Amino acid sequence: MAHNVKCLICGQTFDRDIYEAVKVNSRRYAHKTCADQHPEIKTMEAVTPAQSLKQNNEQLVLNKEQEQITVNMQTGAVTAKSAQLKEEQKEKEDLERLKDTIRDLFGNKAVWSRIMRQINSYKKKYGYTYSGMMRSLIYYYQKMGNDPMKSTGGIGIIPYVYDSAYNYYYNIWLLQQRNKQENLEYKANPTQEIKNVTIKEPERTPIKIEMRKPLFGFLEEDNIGEN
């Protein structure tokens, strides 16, 4: 790419990538031959065509790096915004699923003003997820066989069974991972015996756990049966 400059001495335009030049000041150049004929003009440095090309290439590389940084920042911002919108959409969907589950369980006995206060309180105070609250209700009323009509139209049972429900679904998840691993091992070695393990339905008296497993979030992936 040509790098045309105007000679400060003779006024002619020339390509400093082709002709030897001298730098007169930070922004002006002159032919080296012109400068040699006018020693009274102080010059900063001589610039050979090779040096000029190198400077041009370095500037091009710098410009491309700056452009890439800008693109990466813009892409990162778009990705972060997309992830945020995706998470917000999932939250909305999980809340609707929780409401649907409450409608199925309580019917017209549901007291929605109380239920919404409870949902918001459990989420803010305990950090419960909507899917976790939904599965807690499924666990208590469907898995354990308790009567929803005894709830007086609210979901106050959730804090008392949330950890037990978590423990129940976590164990299902662990067994699913074990069964998947054994299936993979069987495909690699079809002669070995494969043993799929199932989990028993919960007892009427739930077991409370003190700590939550760090790699498990109430199976937000929705790959556990809920019925």
Domain ranges of the chain: 1-47, 92-227
Q: For position 32, what pLDDT does the model report?
A: 86
Using pLDDT thresholds of 50, 70 and 90, give the confidence band for residue 213.
Answer: very low
Query: Is 99 buried (19+), middle (13-18) or exposed (0-12) by CB count in 10 A?
Result: middle
Write the DSSP assignment of 102-124 as a string of letters: HHHHHGGG--HHHHHHHHHHHHH
Q: Report whether pLDDT(27) > 60.
A: yes
Angle at 118 between CA 113 and CA 123, to 5 degrees: 135
User: Within a 10 A sphere around the Cβ of 158, how many other Cβ atoms?
Assistant: 21
Mean pLDDT across 129-152: 93
Q: How far apart are CA 124 and CA 138, in angstroms?
A: 21
**67: which 2 tokens?**
């452009």
Angle at 172 between CA 166 and CA 178, to 5 degrees: 135
73 or 169, greater pLDDT: 169
169 or 83, greater pLDDT: 169
Angle at 225 between CA 223 and CA 226, to 5 degrees: 120
Q: Report whether pLDDT(119) > 60.
A: yes
212 or 41, greater pLDDT: 41
Backbone angles phi, psi at 7, to 5 degrees: -65, 125
Q: For position 144, what pLDDT does the model report?
A: 92
Q: For position 36, what pLDDT does the model report?
A: 84
